Structures are given as C-alpha cells and as structure tokens.
Amino acid sequence: MITYQYNAITPDGIKIRGVVQAADEFSAVEKIKATCPIVTKITPVSAKSGNILQKDIGGKTIDAKALSVMCSQFSIILRSGVPISKCMELIANQTEDKRLKKMLIGASEDVAEGTGIAKSFENNCKFLPITFIETIRAGEESGTLERSFQTLEKYYDKSYKTQQKVKRAMSYPIFVLCVAVVVLLIVMIKVIPTLADTFGDLGGELPAMTKFLIGTSNFFADSWPIILGVIFAVVIAAKLLLNTEKGRVWGAKRKLTMPVFGNINTLGGAAQFANTMATLLEAGIPVNKAIETTAKVMDNYQLSIETRRMAGSIEEGKQLGDCMRKCESYPATLTEMCAIGEKTGELEETLKTIGAYYDNEADNATQKAVAKLEPTILIFLAIFAGFIVIAIYLPMFTMYDLM
C-alpha cells in the first residue's frame, strides 16, 4: 500500500488535511471521496519523511530462509484452493519476520482491491529480490503461480544453505583473528609499557629486538589518533572510489582475479548465474527476459555488466552460447554447457545441473582456502608471539647483573 497526503473539502465546506493508504492514486481518491466530495490536492508520502517509529529496522535484504519458508507456505496453501489475498493474510499471521508480515498485509489489501499479485508485492516491499518479483509475475501471467512458488522455495532454500556453509567455514578463522587482535592490543598497551619502565629504572643497554618492541608500543600509544584518522580517511576514499563506475568495475575485476578468493568468487558467480537462469526459465520467462533479470541479480558488478550485454545480442537473434563466449569472466565449462543445453533444447535442465556443479565446486574451493588459512594464521601468531617472548626475556638475562 502507498501512503498519500491529501487536502479535501467536506460536504459542509470545511477544508481538511489527512493521510490515506491505497494501491494507487485513483484508489486513494475514491477512498477520500467517500467522505469528502472534493479533493484539492493529493501527493504520495516519501518513505524518508515518514515517522521514524514506522520505519523498518534491519538491513536492506530479507533472509533467504524466511523467503524459502514463505514460498513453501504459499505453495501449500494455494494448492488447497484458498484465494491469494486470503493466503497472504494467513501467511502474514504466521511469519515472524516483521517486514514480511507488514508487506504481506499491505499486499493482501492491494490484491483484494484488484491489483496484480506481482505488482502488490513490488509496491509493498522494496526489499524483495527482483528474482522473486519476476518469477511471480511470470507465474501470474501464465497461470502457474503455485509452480512459481515451488521453484522459488527450492531456489532460496539452496541459497540459504550455501550462505550457511560459507559462514561456518569462515567462523573459526575470524574468531582466531579477533582474539589475536585483542591480545595484541593488551600486550602493546599494558604489558610492554610496564616492562619498558622496569628496564629503564634498572638501566643498562637493551637488545635491539627489545628496543624495537618498545618503540613500536610507544608509537601506537602516542600516535593512535593519527592512525585511526588515516584508516578512516583511507576507508572513506576507497568507498568514494568504488562508488564510481570505473571504481566499481575495477573492484569487481579484482575480486575475480585475486589469489585464492578470485577463483571462489568466479565459481560462486557461475553458480549464481546458472541457478538464477534455471529458476526464471522454469517459471516460463523467455531467455532474453531471464538474462536481463539475472544481470540485475548478480552480486559481482563485472559479471552483471557482461550478462546485461548478452540480453541485447539475444534479442537480435543470436544464440546464448555465442553470446557467452564473448564474456571474459565466466568459466569456459559454463559457456559450453549452456551452448549444448540450448542446442539440445534442454537448457533449463542443463542450467540446473551446472548450477549444482558450481555450487559444489565453490564449496570445495572455500573449504580448501579455509584449510590453508587456519595454519597460516596460527604460524603467523606463533612467529609474532615468539618475537615478543624473546624480546621480553632477552633483557631479563642482564637484569640480574644490574639488580
């Protein structure tokens, strides 16, 4: 539902101002005229000007697990013959996600007033992925809405499981790094200055390692505002650069070519392309339209640009395989498999197969990277800890002669 502000005149000739919610401006005017015959002004309320208490709290995306559960509920309830507007109300009462609940309530009111299903979703929740909207639109137009929700359930369930695998794989290295940073700060801020004062009171010449450690500690203690300022400036500059067109392209290319993680990002991008295309084609969306939607879904900006270029060529009558061969960032295996699937008329099934393959390859590559990362972190920490221990203990051998 869209919120509108209006100025109107009552039957008694009194000018009033108010707020009304409706699917569109015409519906809003009809609601207002039920009590005020003359509407002098009506404008949509910007989301930015709304009450802060009415704003959604959270990120700009909806959890894939919540979407998967919602699509499963839609598929089951629609199968029993319940009208779509009533179905939305039932699911809204069951969901725990506040944004989904609010969206479904507003969408059910829009559908009850005659708005299209996909349009009602689009109007009431700007956070829904474009894949969801376009798949529902295709199902609505072809009369296969139940099938579209089944397809989306599998798609988002698979996405959620992939995200969880990556999070589990990265949790231990991130935990170790956080602990290492905390220990380093305690040592450099508390331990080293105390030892430096002790060594200074005893006098004598300190070893070079100890001098370096004390000097580093003093530098961080005296210059931490400058260090934080430099880090802040670098982060802001990087964000400004990456927000430009050239910066976004450069950053996306680096993500695909960087050591170790570049291969993971490439495999993940191939899996995302294949899975999204398979989902859209299964919903009955034409190849050219599916390519356009997939380009908007791709996480990597370079892959999104290359995918978007294919849409124009396909509309000119070119084959998908030929278009993909001009792309520099997609793996050759994905390109050739798509070309074969297109020639045999089994593009949808081929995309499902290759999507599962690249999901598995990305998962294996992530596991291998983490397996190499963990010992690397431990070796680095061992070297660093050893350096600190030696730098502290070396002067202690001379301390007893000075006492």
* pLDDT bracket for residue 61 (50, 70, 90): low
Out of 158, 185, 206, a domain closes at 158
Question: Both 282 and 352 in a single domain?
Answer: yes
Say yes or no to pLDDT of 48 above 60.
no
In a domain, 390, yes or no: no
**3-class secondary-structure state, position 284:** coil
pLDDT at residue 54 in the model? 39
Question: Both 298 and 318 in a single domain?
Answer: yes
Question: Both 43 and 85 in a single domain?
Answer: no
Question: What whole-number distance in Å separates Cα of residue 112 and Cα of residue 280?
Answer: 27
pLDDT at residue 52 in the model? 35
* Exposed/middle/buried for residue 357 (C-beta within 10 Å: 0-12, 13-18, 19+): middle
pLDDT at residue 401 in the model? 55
Say yes or no to pLDDT of 58 above 70.
no
pLDDT at residue 399 in the model? 59
pLDDT at residue 233 in the model? 93
Say yes or no to pLDDT of 188 above 80.
no
Question: Both 40 and 93 in a single domain?
Answer: no
Q: Is 46 left (phi over 0), alpha (psi -120 to 50) or beta?
A: beta
For the chain, how far is it from start to end, CA to CA, in angstroms?
81
Rounded to an integer, the average pLDDT of 296-315 is 86
Main-chain dihedrals φ then ψ at residue 50, nearest 5 degrees: -70, 165
Question: Both 17 and 81 in a single domain?
Answer: no
In a domain, 220, yes or no: no
CATH number at residue 344: 1.20.81.30
In a domain, 40, yes or no: yes
Distances (CA, A) of 13 to 8, 28, 38, 248: 9, 20, 9, 57
Rounded to an integer, the average pLDDT of 236-265 is 87
In a domain, 387, yes or no: no
pLDDT at residue 189 in the model? 73
Rounded to an integer, the average pLDDT of 63-69 is 82
User: Mean pLDDT: which of 192-196, 197-201, 357-361 is highest?
Assistant: 357-361
Per the prediction, the chain carries an average pLDDT of 80
Chain-centre distance for alpha carbon 390: 45
Q: Which of 334, 267, 285, 342 is nearest to 151 (CA)?
A: 285
In a domain, 383, yes or no: no
Question: What whole-number distance in Å separates Cα of residue 330 and Cα of residue 308?
Answer: 13
User: Mean pLDDT: which of 181-185, 265-269, 384-388 is highest?
Assistant: 265-269
106-133 burial, b for 16+ CB within 10 Å, e for fewer?
A: bbbbbbbbebbbbbbbbbbbeebbebbb
Distances (CA, A) of 170 to 152, 166, 269, 341, 361: 27, 6, 19, 35, 17
Residue % of the chain over a pLDDT of 90: 2
The string of pLDDT tens digits covering residues 141-182 is 777 788 888 888 888 888 888 778 777 777 877 887 788 778
Rounded to an integer, the average pLDDT of 38-65 is 59
The string of pLDDT tens digits covering residues 77-107 is 888 788 888 888 888 888 877 778 888 888 8
The string of pLDDT tens digits covering residues 313-346 is 888 888 888 888 888 888 888 889 988 988 888 8
Question: What whole-number distance in Å separates Cα of residue 399 and Cα of residue 118?
Answer: 78
pLDDT at residue 236 in the model? 92
What one-character-per-residue DSSP string does 290-312 give? HHHHHHHH-SSHHHHHHHHHHHH
Taking a C-beta distance cutoff of 8 angstroms, is the pair 298, 248 a contact? no
Which range of residues forms the domain containing residue 25? Answer: 2-54
In a domain, 181, yes or no: no
In a domain, 283, yes or no: yes
Question: Both 30 and 48 in a single domain?
Answer: yes
In a domain, 185, yes or no: no
* pLDDT bracket for residue 204 (50, 70, 90): low
Question: What whole-number distance in Å separates Cα of residue 153 and Cα of residue 166?
Answer: 20
What's the per-residue H, E or C state across the chain?
Answer: CEEEEEEEECCCCCEEEEEEEECCHHHHHHHHHCCCCEEEEEEECCHHHCCHHHCCCCCCCCCHHHHHHHHHHHHHHHHCCCCHHHHHHHHHHHCCCHHHHHHHHHHHHHHHCCCCHHHHHHHHCCCCCHHHHHHHHHHHHHCCHHHHHHHHHHHHHHHHHHHHHHHHHHHHHHHHHHHHHHHHHHHHHHHHHHHHHHHHHHCCCCCHHHHHHHHHHHHHHHHHHHHHHHHHHHHHHHHHHHCCHHHHHHHHHHHHHCCCHHHHHHHHHHHHHHHHHHHHHHCCCCHHHHHHHHHHHCCCHHHHHHHHHHHHHHHCCCCHHHHHHCCCCCCHHHHHHHHHHHHHCCHHHHHHHHHHHHHHHHHHHHHHHHHHHHHHHHHHHHHHHHHHHHHHHHHHHHHHHHC
pLDDT at residue 57 in the model? 40
Q: What's the structural domain count of the chain?
A: 3
Say yes or no to pLDDT of 47 above 60.
no
The string of pLDDT tens digits covering residues 207-231 is 788 778 778 777 777 777 888 899 9
Question: Both 39 and 126 in a single domain?
Answer: no
The string of pLDDT tens digits covering residues 360-390 is 888 888 888 878 877 888 888 888 888 878 8
